[in-house]
Amino acid sequence: MDTLSLTDFDVFLFHEGNMQHAYRFMGCHVKAGISTDFCVWAPEARSISVVGSFNNWNGRGYELKRINQEGVWVIRVDEDLSGSTYKYEIVTSSGERRMKADPYGFSSEVRPRTASVVYDLEGFKWSDRDWMKVKEKHNRFDQPMFIYEVHLGTWKKKRDGGFLTYSELADELIPYVKEHGFTHIEILPVTEHPFDRSWGYQGTGYYAPTSRYGSPHEFMAFVNECHAHHIGVILDWVPGHFCKDAHGLYQFDGSFAYEYARDSDRENHTWGTVNFDLAKGEVRSFLLSNARFWMEKYHIDGFRVDAVANIIYWANQGESAANEGALEFLKRLNTSVFEFDPSFLMMAEDSTDWPQVTSPVHYGGLGFSYKWNMGWMNDVLTYMEATPEERRGLHSLITFSILYAFSENYILPFSHDEVVHGKRSLLDKMPGDHWQKFAQYRLLLAFMTGHPGKKLLFMGSELAPFAEWKDLEQLDWHLMSYDFHHKFNSYFREVLHLYRGATPLHQWDHRSDGFEWIDVNNADQQIFSFIRHSEGEHLIIICNFSKEAYHHYKVGVPLVKAYQEILNSDEERFGGSHQINPHSLPVTKGAYHGKEGSIEMTIPPYGAVYLKPII
């Protein structure tokens, strides 16, 4: 046995907090098929041995050597250990013996087993060069983005209740997503985690795609297949906190190596987790390198960064004290990500009003590409859950978002958090009888699609389930045999494909001149009308949140020859009452609603209408 060598500069960057590819030497690496290197950081350990299936879990003769005072330990085993399971046997400063999985391990056993697995990531042949080139050329901000948020374990299951594999998901999920018109798949955390019902948000293996669904190479193949069908892949990524399971990062060497030392900073009582010490150099290197790892090794296209509010502010202090070390980490993270790939998507799940979340770091911002618009989501759902009579007094909940819509680059999310734990499904949030619920759900989708900002919907939204997400069961696929659900699904696909093809719905999402109110004040009739603009084009969108139909309704419009209806959520084929505008709508010259002309049209009950000018 021999010890591997590391450059002094690598070690310096790792401890300083600027190492962006620590996975190239930390963890376990098979070398040329003849040896296996192990490297781990454990600053307070008294001794460390690597134990596993290759030595009958007996560490005698497999002791790691400490190479510096800061706690980097290494060993070279003169054997190809591919496929072996292993852990680090750590003796703490107090003499306690702990068995820990590899923080940088590339693969893990299938839960409930918890050992790391020696795995060589090399050898997969990528074929997504064309996707990468196209992505580099496009300005991501003016492209359509409608994201399908997925929990891989419950999208669909096998007949025996088992999980689909990454390979089976590639065969079934990708064509389904493409058929429905989504542009991206966002996967709830795929990093290894011990408890199914944490949905991956309480992780232990940050460098290991969960073995529930297959091997690392099979996950690479899934991403590669997504790219072959022009579907981007976004990972839900959790750099703020981690779980306390005994084999994970928690008190890794008996000390608080990865987490804050002070109890009030460390403990995240809401989730039963602990917070990463984001000011510590080695922790920063661990997370910066993890971001680079998924980009480099798995060709991931973006991260949805979880719980940014919990990162920005100190735990248990609310929005009263900013965590300066964490803010510096976020800026360093986004800077390093975009230096490696300027086309990458960094999305902050942030519920705070912290300024300049999506402004570049060199302009004083945090540097994200996008921010989830949680305010819009809460306001819209509050409005939709109200009765038509109550909505008259809640008019500003719909209009308020435009006042700040262009202050950040926003994503409009209806995520898993809104349809679980007693919150009800989106369909069931709608008031009224069966028909009214479906009509308003169609209206909600049309309003969301027409509103400035990129979009995200949780899986199953396209099926219009009455039941909220059941996080141990598959989606309610049987609903497609019912007429109303089948018709809604047809409508859903038509809306998303219209969104992708209509440049006014996405090209100027983040420019104030991309949106223009027609009538913002009609609280009594609960009708909102507005224009979406793009370069040389525009669409008129009218949304009626009341149960009344309005005939010969006059709307101010730009002066063109005529308009034609390209979407009406009330069409009979979608389950509506078919109060539509089948013929072209001529424009009458004369100021109305502050526009040069006007049209008269039918406004359906609980309906949305999209109009396109006839030039």
Map residue 599 onto helix, strand or coil: strand
Separation CA 380–CA 377 (nearest Å): 5
Confidence check: pLDDT of 1 > 50 = no
Tell me the DSSP string of 376-410: HHHHHHHHHHS-HHHHGGGTHHHHTHHHHTTTS-E
Mean pLDDT, range 30-52, rounded to an integer? 96
286 to 7, 41, 267, 312: CA distances (angstroms):
18, 10, 20, 19
Quick one: 146-246+278-505 is in which CATH superfamily? Glycosidases (3.20.20.80)
User: What is the separation of C-alpha 556 from the centre of its chain, rounded to a whole number of angstroms?
Assistant: 38
Helix (H) or strand (E) holding 516: strand 515-519
Torsion 196-225-115-70 (CA) sign = negative
For residue 5, what are its two tokens?
């060598």
**513-614 and 8-117 share a CATH fold:** yes
Mean pLDDT, range 522-551, rounded to an integer? 97
For residue 580, what are its two tokens?
């539509």
Contacts of 50 (CB under 8 A, 6+ apart): 38, 59, 62, 64, 75, 77, 86, 87, 88, 89
pLDDT confidence of residue 375: 97
Quick one: 8-117 is in which CATH superfamily? Immunoglobulins (2.60.40.10)
User: What is the separation of C-alpha 138 from the centre of its chain, rounded to a whole number of angstroms?
Assistant: 20
Q: Are 169 and 210 in contact (CB under 8 A)?
A: no
The tens digit of pLDDT for each residue in 203-219 reads 999 999 999 999 999 99
pLDDT confidence of residue 318: 66
Separation CA 214–CA 218 (nearest Å): 6
pLDDT confidence of residue 320: 75
Domain ranges of the chain: 8-117, 146-246+278-505, 513-614
Higher per-residue confidence, 32 vs 35? 35
For residue 471, what are its two tokens?
């996080």
371 to 127, 136, 350, 426, 512: CA distances (angstroms):
31, 21, 7, 22, 17
The tens digit of pLDDT for each residue in 429-467 reads 999 999 999 999 999 999 999 999 999 999 999 999 999
The tens digit of pLDDT for each residue in 329-365 reads 999 999 999 999 999 999 999 999 999 999 999 999 9
Question: b/e map of 228-264 (b: 16 or more CB within 10 Å)?
Answer: eeebbbbbbbbbbbbbbbebbbbbbbbbbbbbbeeee
Mean pLDDT, range 242-255, rounded to an integer? 97
Q: Where residue 2 falls among pLDDT bands split at 50, 70, 90?
A: very low
Confidence check: pLDDT of 89 > 50 = yes
Q: Are 301 and 140 in contact (CB under 8 A)?
A: no
Map residue 588 onto helix, strand or coil: strand
Separation CA 283–CA 290 (nearest Å): 10
Q: Are 192 and 209 in contact (CB under 8 A)?
A: yes
Separation CA 481–CA 474 (nearest Å): 16
pLDDT confidence of residue 519: 97
Q: Which of 71-75, 265-269, 318-322 tops mean pLDDT?
A: 71-75
Which residues are the active-site residues?
Answer: 306, 349
Q: Where residue 5 falls among pLDDT bands split at 50, 70, 90?
A: low
Map residue 375 onto helix, strand or coil: helix
Q: Where residue 4 falls among pLDDT bands split at 50, 70, 90?
A: low
Mean pLDDT, range 386-406, rounded to an integer? 96
Confidence check: pLDDT of 382 > 60 = yes
Map residue 141 onto helix, strand or coil: helix
| Domain covering 513-614, topology | Immunoglobulin-like (2.60.40)
Contacts of 445 (CB under 8 A, 6+ apart): 491, 492, 495, 569
Q: How many CB atoms lie within 10 A of CB 580?
A: 18
Separation CA 366–CA 515 (nearest Å): 26
Which residue type does 614 have? I
Which residue type does 368 have? F
Q: Where residue 117 falls among pLDDT bands split at 50, 70, 90?
A: very high
Nearest to 85 by CA among 58, 63, 48, 116: 116
134 to 227, 291, 345, 397, 610: CA distances (angstroms):
11, 22, 15, 39, 30
Q: Residue 110 — φ and ψ, nearest 5°?
A: -75, 130
User: What is the separation of C-alpha 25 from the centre of its chain, rounded to a whole number of angstroms?
Assistant: 29
Tell me the DSSP string of 442-496: HHHHHHHHHSSSEEEEETTGGG--SSPP-TTS---GGGGGSHHHHHHHHHHHHHH
392 to 42, 388, 497, 523: CA distances (angstroms):
61, 7, 32, 5
The tens digit of pLDDT for each residue in 407-437 reads 999 999 999 999 999 999 999 999 999 999 9
Map residue 93 onto helix, strand or coil: coil
Mean pLDDT, range 43-60, rounded to an integer? 98
Which residue type does 415 have? S
